């Protein structure tokens, strides 16, 4: 077997779920693989600090965005989502090595990384670009204007939901100023195609191929049975207004804002940035669905 051609990348960032037991030896193995491929290696600052690895420079996420041209992320999909939100603005491709169960986006297993990683670094990969949600929370002022009290990004979903001890919320949904529906429910999920296999799927939403240009709106435990999930274009701005309900909250992936008030508006649109994932050659989305959702069970 021929050795891989020289790396297409110059400087790799190595980022790990540093809370995971036994992560340091795996990080060291990956760092050695990268070095042997001719790539300079830097550790993300928190990863270096919490694992005690001092053989490589430590960079903040901002510095990674400025100086690195690829990032290797060890962990699960949650770790990847958190890093991808931060690095999307720098257009850096991400390689995911899964620690534990197969992930939807961290799809290289530990046992496969010694083979897969050098090949990807040599240019033998499938590149995939995923849409990013950009959102804000607006609060009305007494003079009729609106203050922006929160801004953020999400890869999976934006969720507006009832308070922990409260009953249902009532939400008004508009798209580009056109009224869509009032939802009396436990909440409403606005999910990207990437997020369609996360919370939205458990609430009864459809699975969307990541290449689709759309979002899905999924009510959570709607009190009106005719409030069904709806797929809409991602070219418009979705606005969700809090009409009724105490202590409503909002989540951008895992980032939370509690105690929304009546009249607050959550706006969601497609970000100008996209997330870039590099997968092993031959990767395809449907194979990931089959493995992750166990669609192969019962097939001879």
The arithmetic mean of pLDDT across residues 60-65, rounded, is 97
In order of 63, 200, 229, the CA distances from 162 in angstroms are: 38, 16, 18
For position 291, what pLDDT does the model report?
Answer: 85
Token digits of residue 48: 């270096």
Res. 82 pLDDT band, cuts 50 70 90: very high
Token digits of residue 154: 């999400």
Query: How, if at all, do strands 146-154 and 125-140 pair?
Result: antiparallel
> What is the C-alpha to C-alpha distance for residues 110 and 113, in angstroms, rounded to an integer?
5
pTM of the model: 0.91
278: helix, strand or coil: strand
The arithmetic mean of pLDDT across residues 188-212, rounded, is 96
Where do you find CATH 2.60.200.30 in the chain?
A: 132-272
Q: Which residues are marked as active site?
A: 77
pLDDT of residue 170 exceeding 90:
yes
- Write the pLDDT tens digit of every residue in 19-39: 877 889 999 999 999 999 999
- Write the pLDDT tens digit of every residue in 245-279: 888 999 999 788 878 999 999 999 999 999 999 99
For position 2, what pLDDT does the model report?
Answer: 45
For position 14, what pLDDT does the model report?
Answer: 97
For position 299, what pLDDT does the model report?
Answer: 57
For position 110, what pLDDT does the model report?
Answer: 85
Assigned CATH topology for domain 132-272: Tumour Suppressor Smad4 (2.60.200)
> What is the C-alpha to C-alpha distance for residues 114 and 116, in angstroms, rounded to an integer?
6
- Write the pLDDT tens digit of every residue in 187-197: 999 999 999 99
The arithmetic mean of pLDDT across residues 165-180, rounded, is 92
For position 100, what pLDDT does the model report?
Answer: 66
- Sequence-distant (≥ 6) Cβ neighbours of residue 226 within 8 angstroms: none
Exposure of 64 in the CB half-sphere (CA atoms within 13 A) = 29
Q: For residues 161 and 220, is the Cβ–Cβ distance under 8 A?
A: yes
May I ask the CATH class of domain 11-124+281-292? alpha beta
Where do you find CATH 3.40.50.10330 in the chain?
A: 11-124+281-292
Average model confidence (pLDDT) for the chain? 92
């Amino acid at each position: 077997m021929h050795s891989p051609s020289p790396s297409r990348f110059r400087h790799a960032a190595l980022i790990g779920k540093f809370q995971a037991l036994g992560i340091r030896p795996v990080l060291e193995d990956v760092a050695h693989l990268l070095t042997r491929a001719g790539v300079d290696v830097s550790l993300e600052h928190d990863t270096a600090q919490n694992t005690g690895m001092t053989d490589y420079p430590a960079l903040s996420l901002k510095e990674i965005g400025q100086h690195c041209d690829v990032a290797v992320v060890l962990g699960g999909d949650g770790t990847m989502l958190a890093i991808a939100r931060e690095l999307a603005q720098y257009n850096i491709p991400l390689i995911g090595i899964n620690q534990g169960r197969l992930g939807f986006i961290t799809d290289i297993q530990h046992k496969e990384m010694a083979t897969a990683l050098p090949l990807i670094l040599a240019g033998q990969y499938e590149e995939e670009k995923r849409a990013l949600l950009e959102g804000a929370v607006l609060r009305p002022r007494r003079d009729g204007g609106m203050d922006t009290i929160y801004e953020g990004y999400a890869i999976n979903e934006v969720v507006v939901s009832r308070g922990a001890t409260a009953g249902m919320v009532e939400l008004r949904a508009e798209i580009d100023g056109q009224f869509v529906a009032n939802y009396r429910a436990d909440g409403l999920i606005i999910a990207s195609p990437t997020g369609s296999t996360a919370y939205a799927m458990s609430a009864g939403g459809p699975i969307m191929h990541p290449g689709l240009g759309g979002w899905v709106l999924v009510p959570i435990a709607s009190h009106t049975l005719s409030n069904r999930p709806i797929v809409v274009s991602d070219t418009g701005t979705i606005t969700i207004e809090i009409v009724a309900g105490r202590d409503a909250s909002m989540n951008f992936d895992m980032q939370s804002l509690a105690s929304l008030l009546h009249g607050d508006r959550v706006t969601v649109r497609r970000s100008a940035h996209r997330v870039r994932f590099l997968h092993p050659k031959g990767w395809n989305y449907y194979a990931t669905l089959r493995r992750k959702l166990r669609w192969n069970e019962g097939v001879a």
